[in-house]
Amino acid sequence: MLTLYSSLHKDHAPEYEFYRGERVPCFESPSRAMIIQNELKKSGHRVISSTSDSRHVLSQIHTARYLAFMESAWSRWLANDSSNATVQPFPSVWPVRSLRSDIEPENFIAQLGLYSMDNGSPLVEGTWAAAKAGADAAASAADLIAKGESSVFCATRPPGHHAGADFMGGYCFLNNAAVAAQTLLNNHYSRVAILDIDYHHGNGTQSIFYDRSDVLFISIHGDPQTEYPFYLGHSDEVGEGKGEGFNLNLPLSAGTSTDKWFEALEDACLRIGRFQADALVVSLGLDTFISDPISKFSLVGEDFKRVGARLKRIGLPTILVLEGGYATKELGVNTVNVLDAFEMD
């Protein structure tokens, strides 16, 4: 399968994050994409660089204020104190409920809280370049589909499906799946389905398209009653306004069996068929793997071949965008299992 990859992802390499209150090495690390790239090349997949600039479509997905902050965040951080060059900034206050979010504070940490849903997306100097490269890959994939490619994989990081129109979160800064879908629409595809199979609900993608009928969003994920992102992803979230009926959440309990997971995948695929989509975007999370350190489903390596085969039977031009997956040792093989089965079926 044709794959888009950018070495700029390596510029986003934070040293640590906070997990369950502890300072730990980042689960979302440059090794993820590098391992996948190596495995793709070994398996004969063609890996190329992006060909499109996503800046125009980013303005259709994210607010101007958020994009301006993201692009300038590191320089704003350094402007406070030059010694900040060796410090990872984290938000410590958020504008929840009765607090105002319409005015951007002058204080950088307050700005960071304004544009963050959590403290799980550490910034470094190269974060914007890496995130923008991922968005460029998503836009490029859609342009390649419009030119006749049947399927394209974006082997990029950081991931994107937790990023909303005006906030970052869950390792995500720019929403690559949304960029891919919107670029397809800009290329005269009238109806696009997004299928998110990451362990964690794609809250950002849902919120971006929640009131629209031209994009069907479906997510199979850990039940938000107990699993991140907690505050979105319930089955009663079906869309609103013109988007009512175009959002489907299939939450599953932590520890759900593989058979039950594939039943949910079948339900999702059948719903995509009824939607009569012109193209498909897959938020390809590989953190459904049984050994993933921060997830609780039980798929094994061979199951990812079954995933790829079922996605292929949907019968649509397809963009697959890398999201989560933190069992790095097996990540490359699991990814290739999906892609090879997609091509072979």
Q: Which two tokens stand for residue 175?
A: 């929403």
Q: What angle do CA 95, 99, 100 make, to 5 degrees?
A: 85
Strand order in the sheet with 151-154: 47-48, 2-4, 151-154, 318-322, 279-284, 192-196, 215-222, 247-252
Among candidate residues 124, 128, 113, the one with its CA nearest the CA of residue 85? 124
What are the CA-CA distances from residue 29 to residues 25, 71, 159, 199, 269 (Å)? 9, 21, 11, 18, 31
CA-based nearest residue to 310, from 270, 274, 281: 270
Catalytic residue among 162, 200, 201, 221: 162
Return the axis-axis angle of helices 64-80 and 127-146, rounded to nearest 10°. 150
> Are the C-beta atoms of 195 and 267 separated by less than 8 Å?
no
Q: What is the DSSP letter of 116?
A: B
Please give the backbone phi and psi of residue 223, each rounded to the nearest 5 degrees, phi first: -55, 125
Tokens linked to 110: 């307050």
* Spatial CB neighbours of 314, under 8 Å, sequence gap ≥ 6: 269, 272, 273, 280
Active site residue 162: yes
Catalytic residues: 162
